[in-house]
Amino acid sequence: MPYQAPGDAPFMLNVDIPDLVANGGLTNAAGADVTLPSTGFAAADILELFNPPAGFLLMNVGVRVTTAEGAACTADIGNASATETHLLGAAADGFMGTCNLNSATTQITLVTDTDLGWDTVNGLVFVTAGTIDMTFGSADTETAIFDTWAAGWKVF
């Protein structure tokens, strides 16, 4: 686990989609890396946000939109593997469902009780090294800029 300052989430990232487009960023589509087009991410494209180690207890995730997309733009945050977490289940929206990237607001762990987040299991333990992924729900993404984080700690 990398060092983090007291009070900081262990995983933090600024996602600047215009910068990714300008500098040849990649998306993961159907298991293969693909160069990001000038229109940004497409619906169902996956952006791998974080790589928590085995033993990481995920308590919540969040997104703070600093530059709204300007068009309908949503995304989900979850995990794609059914073997990474103690629930042995995968859900693209398991940690945050329908995050609005067209609203300059902060959104934290928007999950329902059928998903994998705090509402049902009081945290989620990664039993193997895994990923926390963002799956885009719409094709208009080229101007969105946002900060995202995953909070928790290493328990074993």
Q: What is the CATH number of the domain that holds 74?
A: 2.60.120
Residue 86 located in a structural domain: yes
Supply the pLDDT for residue 112: 52
pTM here is 0.85
Q: Which range has highest mean pLDDT (112-116, 132-136, 151-155)?
A: 132-136
Residue 90 lies in a domain: yes
Report, in angstroms and rounded to the nearest whole number, the Rg of the chain calculated over CA atoms: 15
Question: Per-residue confidence at 1, pLDDT binned at 50, 70, 90?
Answer: very low
Better pLDDT: 106 or 66: 66
pLDDT digit string (tens) for 19-76? 988 888 777 666 677 788 888 888 988 888 999 999 998 888 899 999 999 889 999 9
Q: How many residues does the chain have?
A: 156
Virtual torsion, Cα 37, 43, 47, 52, nearest 10 deg: 180
> Is 37 within the bounds of a domain?
no
Whether 65 contacts 148, CB under 8 Å? no
What range does the domain containing 133 cover? Answer: 11-28+46-154
| Residues in CB range of 28: below 8 A, 6 or more apart | 34, 45, 46, 47, 48
Question: Is 33 inside any structural domain?
Answer: no
Burial of 85 (0-12, 13-18, 19+ CB in 10 A): buried
Residue 106 lies in a domain: yes
In a domain, 34, yes or no: no
User: Do 128 and 83 touch, CB atoms closer than 8 A?
Assistant: yes
Inside any domain, residue 40: no
CB-CB contact of 107 with 93 (8 Å): no
User: How many domains are contained in the chain?
Assistant: 1
What is the pLDDT averaged over residues 86-114?
A: 78
Residue by residue, DSSP assigns 48-111 as EEE-PPTTEEEEEEEEEEEE--SS--EEEEEE--TTSBTT---EEEEEEEEEETTS-SEEE---
Does the pLDDT at position 119 exceed 60?
Answer: no
41 in a domain, yes or no? no
Place of tokens 């686990």: 1
